Chain A
Amino acid sequence: MRRIISVLMENEAGALSRVVGLFAQRNYNIETLTVAPTEDETLSRLTLTTSASDAEVEQITKQLNKLIEVVKLVDLTDGDHIERELMLIKVKATGAQRAEVKRTSDIFRGQIVDVTHNSYTIQLAGTSDKLNAFLRAMSESVVLEVVRSGVSGVSRGEKILAV
């Protein structure tokens, strides 16, 4: 099953490579990975998605917790949560295509953030599923480039991940 694991770790050189190395070393898969500093400058927050059985996920979270620099982590998919991913997509937009691309983008609440004579760059945020659906909807168009940020997320309600 797909999991979203969010990790608070010491904002130190080398911490990220330990997390990534752990996944390679133990043959766990990583689908997406994003990492950035938090409001507390001593901490950074890393969010990753992986597909694994329950037993594997248990091992993954335990092994992550074992890393000295990992302060705390949560499997967001254990409870209600909000997930977001950002995508920038550059598509060919000429002639009749221009209106068609814009219409599809509007339906998905995408924003056109850059325009040339021949192309649109669309920004879209949402769940990974929504981004995938948009890519499928654009399959008639000529997609020139796709950049995705990877998933980040938080728990719903008052539950927080903090030290």
Chain B
Amino acid sequence: MLSGGDILIRCLQEEGVDYVFGYPGGAVLHIYDALFRQNRIRHILVRHEQAATHMADGYARSTGRPGVVLVTSGPGATNAITGIATAYMDSIPMVVISGQVQSHLIGTDSFQETDMIGICRPIVKHSFAVRSAADLALAVKKAFYIATSGRPGPVVIDIPKDITNPTDLVEYEYPQQISLRSYNPAAKGHTGQIKKAVTLLMEAERPMIYAGGGVIQGNGASELTSLTRLLGYPIVNTLMGLGAYPGTDKQFLGMLGMHGTYEANMAMHHCDVLIAVGARFDDRVTNTVAKFCPYAKIIHIDIDPASISKNVMVDVPIVGPVESVLTEMLEVSQAKIGKRTKTQASRLAEWWAQIEGWRKQDSLRVTPSADGITIKPQEAVQAVFRASKGAAYVTTDVGQHQMFAALYYPFDEPRKWINSGGLGTMGFGLPAAMGVQMAFPDALVCCITGEGSIQMNIQELSTCAQYGLPIKIININNRSLGMVKQWQDMQYEGRHSDSYMESLPDFVKLAEAYGHVGIKVERLADLDAALEQAFALQDRLVFVDVIVDRDEHVYPMHVAPNGSMRDMWLKKGVRT
């Protein structure tokens, strides 16, 4: 016989949870007491519940294991909402436990009561309102199963305080197996469809592989890499998919979409067979949907049937886990690859020649500043790549710096690039980096951020001090909400309505105030040395404030509205 509070903790232990990210309050005091009385799960006390969700998220993205969050009712729960929505948009496995007021007070507008189940409904994969301590174990089991299977996502468990009462004891047994008659995610793809897809791929003259975050979440990166290499086809990754295929490989054409490379977007537009793997034809990829890949037959592999033909109608849908579908595809392809005709081989060679032509555009070329002193934001990212030898975990916030990081820091492995792609949540970067550092204490974890975004969860510098998290923060400081300013330059004749960051703090002093190290870099010549100095301080958090050119834009950029993927701005005032 155990109390609800103890049951909850036991269940989390059964699920192999090592960290819970959270913040206490009235409705979860029994749970916190249960946490105190055990030592297998470590609780990480954040400074704001939003950060707890992003930490759990960073932990989940980097490890593939679900992140766990614990917050109190009312404001604790509402503060967690942005992080839950962030995880939902990027299909990240997460279990969020929210306290609730006592059962008999529900519906009476009692102190710190909010309808958490109602508020989070559109941004969770599922949620549970626990009604008795006896139901708790089953709810937790289901929550972890749902969060981590099929298309992953956040699951909320809302627990009224009385259910965790230490004096009310109930029988406890953790269910070992779970099956839900109403939830059966596909275990493998349809073999007939897979064969059809391979046939189409083998006949292609201008093939393209378009891989997204699903490949990373579905642990299919090595299968994707083998298939791509076997076929010898060009591949692009979405913002969420970076690292699904080695970013420094010659078959890789870069990121595609709104800020994709010239060659990636041109090849997408001209291909005749497109295979989309774990990608969802997001509007930031397709530009005008009606003009998307006008010549292509499309194959789409996805675990979520609702992703298929949602934005773009596809010809060969395959619903299933990417890893198993790609494995099967690889087998079928191996048997067929030798039978490709000479004409096909020469068509493929012509296609590559065309792509090499587009590559010559060198769309990511950086023009150093005229004075030779001012640092360009791209140069800052390139310097981080050099100093970290391309091996760091990199989290970002949202804005120009995020796009520069995506474009100028190639990733050769999955789960090393961590950013909020779907929701685009400023404030994500630092807490996400903290979650990664918790999971990988000895790894180099860089948070590439902007002076706007970093201030959205800057309070977490305190949490970093408490737990000794030696994150390297690279603040691409352009003294403006750069991405907003870029749009205002391009679409509002340069009217910078509230896109400046005035009254910025002295970030070096701020870092020092929290007990960390701060370094400010203003000259290009000092950049490499500063980063090396920062990375050498292996057990310290270092805040590197890099003062960069405030007027730089991110290019290429899709022309909108009504543009196709090949319609791009290549630099200021120059378009395709």
Question: Taking beta carbons and an 8 Å cutoff, which residues of A are in contact with B?
Answer: 9-10, 13-14, 17-18, 21, 25, 55, 58-59, 62-63, 65-66, 68-71, 163
CB pair A163 B181 closer than 8 Å: yes
Among B55-63, B116-124, B190-198, B366-374, which stretch is in contact with chain A?
A: B116-124
CB pair B121 A68 closer than 8 Å: no
Q: Which of B126, B129, B304 has the most CB of A within 10 A?
A: B126
Supposing A17-B121, A58-B309 touch, asked if A66 and B304 sit within 8 A by C-beta, the answer is yes
Chain A nearest CB: distance from B116 CB in Å? 12
Chain A nearest CB: distance from B93 CB in Å? 15
CB pair A10 B310 closer than 8 Å: no
- Cα A70 to Cα B181 with chains together (Å): 9
- Cα A130 to Cα B351 with chains together (Å): 61
Residues from chain B with a CB closer than 8 A to the CB of A65 are: 305-306
Closest B residue, CB atoms, query A22: B122
Residues 293 to 345 of chain B near chain A (Cβ within 8 Å): 304-306, 308-310, 313
Residues from chain A with a CB closer than 8 A to the CB of B280 are: none
Q: Which of B129, B181, B308, B313 has the most CB of A within 10 A?
A: B181
Extra inter-chain contacts (4) besides given A21-B122, A65-B305, A71-B181, CB under 8 Å: A14-B117, A17-B118, A63-B306, A68-B125
CB pair B304 A70 closer than 8 Å: no
Closest B residue, CB atoms, query A8: B182
Q: Which of B118, B182, B183, B306 has the most CB of A within 10 A?
A: B182
CB pair A69 B182 closer than 8 Å: yes
**Is B146 in the interface zone, CB < 8 Å from A?**
yes
CB pair A62 B306 closer than 8 Å: yes
Closest B residue, CB atoms, query A10: B182
CB pair A68 B122 closer than 8 Å: no
Residues from chain A with a CB closer than 8 A to the CB of B305 are: 62, 65-66
Classify the secondary structure of A's interface with B: helix
Residues from chain B with a CB closer than 8 A to the CB of A17 are: 118, 121
CB pair B129 A68 closer than 8 Å: no
- Cα A58 to Cα B304 with chains together (Å): 13
Closest A residue, CB atoms, query B307: A62
**Is B180 in the interface zone, CB < 8 Å from A?**
yes
Supposing A68-B180, A69-B182 touch, asked if A13 and B304 sit within 8 A by C-beta, the answer is no
Contact of A14 among B129, B181, B306, B313 (CB under 8 A): B129
Q: Which of A10, A66, A69 has the most CB of B within 10 A?
A: A66
Chosen A-B contacts, 14 in total, with CB atoms closer than 8 Å, are: A9-B182, A10-B182, A13-B129, A14-B127, A17-B121, A55-B313, A63-B306, A65-B305, A65-B306, A66-B305, A68-B180, A68-B182, A68-B183, A71-B182
CB pair A59 B306 closer than 8 Å: yes
Chain B nearest CB: distance from A8 CB in Å? 9
- Cα A13 to Cα B181 with chains together (Å): 17
Residues 105 to 157 of chain B near chain A (Cβ within 8 Å): 117-118, 121-122, 125-127, 129, 146
Closest B residue, CB atoms, query A18: B121
CB pair A68 B306 closer than 8 Å: no
- Cα A17 to Cα B304 with chains together (Å): 22
CB pair A68 B181 closer than 8 Å: no
- Cα A21 to Cα B120 with chains together (Å): 11
- Cα A66 to Cα B310 with chains together (Å): 14
Residues from chain B with a CB closer than 8 A to the CB of A63 are: 306
CB pair B309 A68 closer than 8 Å: no
- Cα A21 to Cα B118 with chains together (Å): 9
- Cα A163 to Cα B182 with chains together (Å): 9
What mask results when residues 542 to 559 of chain B are scored 1 for a CB within 8 Å of chain A, else 0? 000000000000000000
CB pair B182 A70 closer than 8 Å: yes
Residues from chain A with a CB closer than 8 A to the CB of B304 are: 66
Residues from chain B with a CB closer than 8 A to the CB of A21 are: 121-122
- Cα A69 to Cα B146 with chains together (Å): 12
Chain A nearest CB: distance from B208 CB in Å? 24
- Cα A59 to Cα B313 with chains together (Å): 12
- Cα A68 to Cα B127 with chains together (Å): 9
Chain A nearest CB: distance from B282 CB in Å? 16
Closest A residue, CB atoms, query B306: A62
Residues from chain A with a CB closer than 8 A to the CB of B127 are: 14
Residues from chain A with a CB closer than 8 A to the CB of B125 are: 68
Supposing A9-B182, A59-B310, A163-B181 touch, asked if A68 and B126 sit within 8 A by C-beta, the answer is yes
What mask results when residues 202 to 235 of chain B are scored 1 for a CB within 8 Å of chain A, else 0? 0000000000000000000000000000000000
Contact of A68 among B146, B308, B310 (CB under 8 A): B146
